[in-house]
């Protein structure tokens, strides 16, 4: 008696509503500017999508966000919905989407908030399709949402947010083909500390000189390659020596009051390395044990407070955290 025990739902099992949770992410990872990122546990955005009868139409039903966060009401300009408009059109979806957004990730924190909304929107909407796409195919639509917020196509937050883990984004020109999961030694943990103030991503980009001295390019490349080799070889000492951003961090550190003290605190607590999360102002550290993670979290937080940060929050996470999930 096939099908016994399953509820009879008359032909196709259609969902009328789906909620997706997409995690915060740490992009750049110090030495991988615009090409590396990983998902973290404990913080994320939630987007709930309902079907409507209006094919191709995307409506924003509501937004729950901390005070002071101005979320665009126009679906074409909202990071959680812009990708859905393309998805609905390109796949000729025979219904519409109504979207509720719950922002968990502080805006301008350097923790991939716009990527998380973009991913959660697309993942939730996909669950409502008669034939949902495989996860990798959603990258394209999530990137559209992210681009609305950041002004350009960057996959280093979106890819790990969608797929989980630590990701190398060689290119997004050909879909997910050049998005490569990197191995993460089991003992690695991440500490992320957010000082509570907002740093605009565009301002952080503007702080970067348009050119890189060739010698610095070589040093940064050597560290990037060392980091990858260290991860593949499970050589944490090599990972630690290589997790040293000699290019971007020196240019952005002055935008983050207390950065140098926070970094010193992390390394003093035993962290393998410490740098700016995404465009900042959050700071991340990689550590090789839970004990060091706790110590680093406390001392990094204290250092931010000593530098005047008003509402410091901090998280400890594996670097192999899951990507976006559909909540049942």
Interface residues with its own copies (CB under 8 A) are 32-36, 168-171, 178, 180, 182, 208-214, 217-218, 220-226, 228-229, 232-233, 238, 241-242, 247
CB-nearer residue toward its own copies: 87 or 169: 169
Whose CA is closest to 258, among 300, 221, 286, 296? 300
Distance, CA of 302 to CA of 261 (rounded, Å): 10
Q: How far is CA 277 from CA 31, 97, 202, 223, 327, in A?
A: 11, 33, 15, 17, 27
Do 128 and 97 form a contact (C-beta atoms < 8 A)?
yes
Considering the complex, state which of residue 124 and residue 167 has its C-beta at the smaller distance from its own copies: 167
Comparison of 4 and 209: residue with beta carbon closer to its own copies: 209
* Residues 204/205/209/210 CA torsion (nearest 10 deg): 180
Encoded tokens for 103: 């922002």
- Give me 82's structure tokens: 């812009």
Residue placing its CB nearer to its own copies in the complex, 240 or 323: 240
Q: Are 178 and 170 spatial neighbours (Cβ–Cβ below 8 Å)?
A: yes
- Quick one: CA dihedral 203, 209, 212, 216, positive or negative? negative
Residues paired with 285 in a beta bridge: 191, 274
Q: Could you tell me which residues are beta bridge partners of residue 273? A: 286
Minimum distance between the CB of residue 106 and its own copies, rounded to whole angstroms? Answer: 26
Q: Which two tokens stand for residue 110?
A: 């350097």
Which single residue is written with the structure tokens 């901090």?
314
**204 or 247: whose CB is closer to its own copies?**
247
CB of 102 to its own copies, least distance (A): 33
Question: Dihedral sign, CA of 208, 211, 215, 220?
Answer: positive
Which of residues 35 and 128 has its CB atom nearest to its own copies in the complex?
Answer: 35
CB of 170 to its own copies, least distance (A): 4
Min. distance of Cβ 253 from its own copies in angstroms?
A: 17
CB 139 within 8 A of CB 159: yes
- What does the alpha-carbon distance between residue 151 and residue 114 come to, in Å, rounded to a whole number? 11
Q: Minimum CB separation from its own copies for residue 233, in Å?
A: 7
| Shortest Å distance, C-beta 141 to its own copies | 22
Alpha-carbon span 236 to 39, nearest angstrom: 20
Q: Which two tokens stand for residue 57?
A: 């139409």
Rounded least distance, CB 244 to its own copies, Å: 10
Give me the least distance between CB of 187 and its own copies, in Å please. 20
**Spatial contact of 162 and 324, defined as CB atoms under 8 Å apart:** yes
Q: Which is nearer to its own copies, 36 or 256 (CB)?
A: 36
CB of 153 to its own copies, least distance (A): 12
């Amino acid at each position: 008696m096939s099908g016994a025990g399953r509820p009879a739902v008359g032909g196709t099992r259609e969902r009328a509503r789906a909620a997706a949770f997409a995690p915060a992410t740490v992009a750049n990872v110090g030495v991988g500017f615009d090409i590396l990122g990983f998902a973290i546990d404990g913080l994320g955005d939630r987007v709930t999508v309902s079907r409507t009868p209006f094919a191709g139409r995307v409506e924003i039903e509501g937004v729950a966000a901390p005070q002071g966060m101005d979320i665009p009401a126009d679906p074409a300009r909202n990071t959680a919905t812009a990708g859905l408009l393309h998805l609905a059109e390109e796949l000729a979806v025979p219904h519409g989407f109504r979207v509720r957004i719950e922002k968990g990730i502080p805006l301008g924190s350097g923790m991939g908030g716009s990527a998380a909304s973009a991913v959660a929107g697309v993942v939730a909407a996909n669950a409502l399709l008669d034939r949902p796409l495989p996860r990798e195919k959603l990258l394209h639509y999530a990137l559209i949402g992210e681009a609305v917020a950041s002004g350009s196509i960057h996959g280093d937050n979106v890819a790990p947010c969608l797929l989980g883990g630590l990701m190398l984004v060689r290119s997004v020109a050909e879909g997910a083909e050049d998005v490569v999961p990197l191995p993460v030694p089991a003992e690695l943990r991440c500490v992320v500390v957010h000082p509570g103030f907002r740093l605009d991503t565009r301002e952080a980009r503007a702080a970067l000189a348009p050119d890189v001295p060739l010698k610095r390019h070589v040093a940064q490349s050597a560290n990037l390659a060392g980091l990858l080799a260290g991860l593949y070889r499970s050589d944490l000492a090599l990972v630690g020596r290589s997790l040293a951003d000699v290019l971007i961090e020196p240019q952005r550190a002055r935008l983050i009051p207390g950065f140098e003290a926070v970094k010193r605190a992390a390394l003093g607590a035993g962290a393998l390395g410490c740098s700016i999360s995404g465009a900042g102002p959050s700071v991340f550290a990689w550590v090789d044990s839970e004990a060091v993670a706790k110590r680093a979290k406390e001392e990094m937080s204290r250092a931010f407070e000593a530098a005047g940060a008003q509402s410091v929050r901090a998280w400890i996470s594996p670097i192999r955290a899951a990507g976006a999930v559909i909540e049942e």
